[in-house]
Amino acid sequence: MRKTTTIALIAATLLLVTAASAVACEFQFNYASIAAPLGTIGEIGVRVQKTHNNCTLASMEDYQFAWENIQVLGETAWEEIGPNLYEKWFQVSLSQVGDGYFMISKDCTKEGYEEATLPISILEPAEEGIWHQAFEGAYPLEIADGVVVESALGDGAVIDGMLTIDQLTLQLPVVPAGFEGELGAVRVFFIQAADSEIVPLLVVSERFFLRFGHLDANAT
């Protein structure tokens, strides 16, 4: 499995490859577990070793993924790297302080339901690094040439997916669990679209680092 590239600072050691054995499939991650500060960006690799030559799953897309307290920013297609051995990579961002996970599962007619879970601990923000840089007002991520990024800082509140900071109100594309009600100090980075719509790129608070720029073609 390829070496993981970590973009942000990691304050804790990330453990190496581990395998979770199943009856009909073997699932493997490139980490045994992850513990890193809020805002850390990196990659999670997943391998599936099929142990039945006549697997009843018609497609690799039949394998399901779920996660908590992280954001998936992008993913590769499945690649067959050996006989009945498949690999896929996810770019992820640690988005909410607390215990999270990344899980793969499958449900087939031969062996039923099986899963493997990668535990993830999202730690308090580091004093240096990407979260600190953002909260202090510098947009820490790549942006397309010519795109003007603005920001606002103030006491924030989210009601029905609408984020309000002082006089600024904008619709969030996705609202994770817990990001609701009065939030305290929040900084939001945004762009003004051609139709004057305010498009959020990044929302940062004491416990959240929520990226939205990867969802908008105007930002990349």
Q: What is the pLDDT of residue 24?
A: 66
Question: Among 52-66, 90-104, 129-143, which stretch is predicted with the lowest mean pLDDT?
Answer: 52-66
Contact by Cβ (8 Å): 8, 42: yes
- Whether residue 110 is found in the same domain as residue 54: yes
Q: What is the pLDDT of residue 37?
A: 97
- Whether residue 24 is found in the same domain as residue 103: yes
Using CB atoms within 10 A of its CB, is residue 5 exposed (0-12), middle (13-18) or buried (19+)? exposed
Number of domains in the chain: 2
- Whether residue 117 is found in the same domain as residue 147: no
Q: What is the pLDDT of residue 111?
A: 73
User: Of the candidates 100, 123, 146, which is a domain's last residue?
Assistant: 123
Average pLDDT over residues 69-95: 96
Task: Please write the tens of the pLDDT for every residue from 137-185.
Answer: 999 999 989 899 999 999 999 999 999 998 899 999 989 888 899 999 9
Instruction: Give dist(CA 24, CA 114) in Å, integer.
Output: 9
Type of residue at 17:
V
Check whether 209 has a pLDDT greater than 60: yes
**DSSP code string of 103-127:** EEEEEETTTEEEEEEEEEEEEPPPS
User: Of the candidates 90, 123, 156, which is a domain's last residue?
Assistant: 123
Which residues in 109-197 belong to E strands, given as ranges?
112-123, 150-159, 162-165, 168-171, 181-192
In a domain? residue 143 = yes
DSSP H/E element including 26: strand 25-29
What domain range includes position 166? 130-219
Task: Please write the tens of the pLDDT for every residue from 189-199.
Answer: 999 877 778 89
- Whether residue 40 is found in the same domain as residue 119: yes
Share of the chain above pLDDT 70, in %: 85
Average pLDDT for the chain: 86
- Whether residue 134 is found in the same domain as residue 203: yes
In a domain? residue 55 = yes
Q: How many helices (H) and strands (E) does the chain have?
A: 1, 16
In a domain? residue 3 = no
In a domain? residue 13 = no
Question: Among 17-26, 102-111, 117-126, 140-149, which stretch is predicted with the lowest mean pLDDT?
Answer: 17-26
- Whether residue 149 is found in the same domain as residue 89: no
- Whether residue 98 is found in the same domain as residue 118: yes
Q: What is the pLDDT of residue 32?
A: 96
Q: What is the CATH number of the domain that holds 47?
A: 2.60.40.10
Type of residue at 15:
L
Using CB atoms within 10 A of its CB, is residue 9 exposed (0-12), middle (13-18) or buried (19+)? middle
Q: Look at the chain and count its residues.
A: 220
Q: What is the pLDDT of residue 65?
A: 97
In a domain? residue 8 = no
- How does residue 122 score in pLDDT terms, banded at 50, 70 and 90? very high
Check whether 216 has a pLDDT greater than 70: no
Q: What is the pLDDT of residue 61?
A: 93
